[in-house]
Structure 1
């Protein structure tokens, strides 16, 4: 008898289709959440937008909270793929901080999400709502702040930034520029917000140079 290979197992095909289905549903969920907020996102709302049975969406995520957490994790991965990973081609320290600022503004300017940066809006929406969803948002943004602070420290070590620079303080200020650019564009619809964001990022880094 010829042994069955892994690729001939019918469960492999079902698993692949299931993963693709989940990715497609999650993509719709991301866009809905960026407009309606994480609290406005529900199994029923998502199923209606997809034109599918509520049970189908429930089977993928299990609960509203499960859906919210999946959306946050997917958003985190998008930030890594579109902002953090491209900037790794620049040397650690000041060059990477400059690259991170450019990549972040490009990410915001590209309208990746219908309603603007989901992590930015979620941080405001969930800041007063204790629980796993808030914790997931906080953890994702803490990871971002840590990347900024790490590269500030590297820039200080290289002598590109003043020796008395507080890495966490500068990370705080850089993050505020991106958050402000996203807020300004979403509220006023003026893409000059990203030009101002780029300029603000550059000027801030120059101000910390020895």
Structure 2
């Protein structure tokens, strides 16, 4: 890996750390340069604009999300889909915990509301990819006979995401413990409604 690439990856790792605490929109070339021990011009040369920095950071965050949330669950490929989904959800909540109970992608989406720039388009694609991944897992559960064949997988993913959004809100109001209790009760109820009854 070239020195320039190493520096760029270092900058993105530091940017991810800062954005995790203060949000994507709060990230500036100046604050990031100071955090990285670089000059503004030196850092700017790697991205050329704040918008390019945001796009690169979102791509980096998506890679981190895949490593923390999806990859560990993929190791359960021989397990039942229900167990894999629960592992995904556990990892998903842990992702939130690393951002004080929030979600970098959802926070960025709110911050960018109304904009149609490259950063928002990239963010939309990231969220859509994750939703599609959940749909695929639910469809696999149907194919393996764990979930009812009449289940609308996309609607099921919508309802699952709704529980996640509720947990996102309740964390900030009632704290992690209470939020987790509500979330997992909702998940168990939802999964039970998907199963084949005989």
TM range (shorter): 0.7 to 0.9
Q: Tell me the CA shift for residue 159 of structure 1.
A: 2.0
- 1:8 is aligned to none
Q: Tell me the CA shift for residue 75 of structure 1.
A: 0.9
Please give the secondary structure, in 1, of the residue aligned with 2:114.
coil
Please tell me whether the aligned partners of residues 102 and 198 of structure 1 are also in contact (alpha carbons under 8 angstroms): no
- 1:178 is aligned to 164
Candidates 123, 134, 145, aligned match of 1:137: 123
Alignment of 1:59-208 (within 5 A): 59-91=45-77, 93-109=81-97, 111=98, 113=99, 116-185=102-171, 187-188=172-173, 190-192=175-177, 193-208=179-194
Please tell me whether the aligned partners of residues 156 and 163 of structure 1 are also in contact (alpha carbons under 8 angstroms): yes
RMSD (CA atoms): 2.2
| Counterpart Cα distance in 2 of 1:126 and 1:145 | 20
Structure 1 pair 59/183, CA: closer, same or farther in 2 (3 Å)?
A: farther
Query: After TM superposition, where is structure 1 displaced by more than 4 Å over at least 4 residues in a row?
Result: none
Question: Unpaired segments of 5 or more residues in structure 1?
Answer: 1-11
Question: Unpaired segments of 5 or more residues in structure 2?
Answer: none
Q: Tell me the CA shift for residue 189 of structure 1.
A: 6.8
TM-score (norm 1): 0.81
Structure 1 pair 115/56, CA: closer, same or farther in 2 (3 Å)?
A: farther
| Counterpart Cα distance in 1 of 2:62 and 2:105 | 8
Equivalent pairs counted in the alignment come to: 193
